[in-house]
Each structure stands twice: as structure tokens, then as C-alpha cells.
Amino acid sequence: MSDISYTTMSDEALKKYFLAHKNDPSALHAYLDRKNQQQRKVITKVGEPDFDVKIEKAIQAKLQKRSVNSPNGGAF
């Protein structure tokens, strides 16, 4: 078996590989390391006057992105 180069894989390719090889602990570690290195966006802070609006916008944006990227139009 050849060695897999997780570092050369794109984020999407690594995710697909990990999901297809769930019993590969190296793939799990590579995937988690990659996810932990990504910067997380702060949507809002508790106590901001428009907290609810910002949360709702973020949810709608995520749902819209899922719908656009999903081959079946985002249907569950």
C-alpha cells in the first residue's frame, strides 16, 4: 500500500477521503488537524443589539450555500 499525502490534498479531497476511509486513523488526524487550523469567523457577540438578526443571517447564508453546493438542491 502506498503512503497517502494528506498535506497535498485540498480540503474537499481530504474530507471525501476521510469519509470514505473512516477506519484510517491517519486520515482522521489529518482531517481534524486541518479543521483546527482554519480560522473561525465570529458572527456576533452576546449582548449586541442586533444579535438575533446576525444569527438569522448567518443561518440563512449557510442554508443558501448548502443549497447551491448540493447536487440535489439542498433537499434532505
Q: What is the pLDDT of residues 51-70, one digit of tens each?
A: 999 999 999 998 998 888 76
Residue 72 binned pLDDT confidence (cut-offs 50, 70, 90):
low
Long-range own/partner contacts, residues 12-16 (CB < 8 A, 24 or more apart): none
Q: Please, which pLDDT band fits residue 1 given cuts at 50, 70 and 90?
A: very low
CA–CA separation, 40 vs 69, rounded Å? 20
Q: Where are the domains of the chain?
A: 1-40, 43-71
Helices (H) and strands (E) in the chain, counts: 3, 0
Model confidence at 76: pLDDT above 80: no
Residues sharing a CB contact under 8 Å with residue 18, sequence separation 6 or more, in sequence order: 24, 27, 28, 30, 31
The per-residue pLDDT for 32 is 92
What is the pTM (predicted TM-score) of this model?
0.54
- Residues 17-45 have pLDDT tens digits of 999 999 999 999 999 999 999 888 889 99
